[in-house]
Amino acid sequence: MAEIDNRLPIEAVYGTLPDWAIRDYIQKRKIIISPLLIDWEKKVDPVSIDLRLGIKIKILRQSEIPIDPRVGVTEEDYEEIDLLDKGSYVFNPGQFVIAETLERVTLPSDVKGVMEGKSSLARVGVGVFVTSARFDPGWDGNPVLELTNSGNRPFILLPEMKICAFSFERLMASAEEPYHGRYTRGDVHSLIHVDNGTDEPLSGLRN
């Protein structure tokens, strides 16, 4: 069956970007992904591009002390594991791991990103995020992975393995205030205390 070429001019494409538009945006550095494989153009799927697992993972240390959302946690509450040093990590059932993608992603002010799990991983019980995996226009950083093993067997995590698919959606107009949030540039651990600080009294505690 002959291929159908129904491409619009790139400036007329809105919504989820198809493969050819993803390649165009990356080639013109409207979307920046770094590092890229030499043959990255051949690896763009119909509506997404795969990202790889970074070289370090973090595990929340076990403790009987409850996490107070008004206080939060610190970097010291996490154990960092270098996958390059160890070669791999045995990810046990019921475990939760924080990681980053190897690639850094920079989005323009009129494109949002969506991270999705890999079906091949999901079918052995490995999920790549717990909350919504939306990346607002203007995002600049290494997407954080919230890995869970809900299967019944350990799974081996390898550095630079394919870990998620990333798709892009072009907005009808640029965001007035692109993303300048707190989870960029290496902020991996939870900042729950920012949402629940004592300067904003919880419901029922107001004077």
The verdict on whether 146 is a catalytic residue reads: yes
Measured CA distances, 185 to 23, 32, 85, 109, 138 (Å): 25, 15, 23, 18, 13
Residue 183 near residue 140 (C-beta atoms within 8 A): no
Integer Cα distance of 10 and 20 in angstroms:
9
In one-letter notation, the amino acid at residue 39 is D
**Catalytic pick among 3, 75, 76, 146:** 146
Integer Cα distance of 32 and 37 in angstroms:
13
Integer Cα distance of 6 and 12 in angstroms:
12
Where in the sequence numbering do the catalytic residues fall? Answer: 146
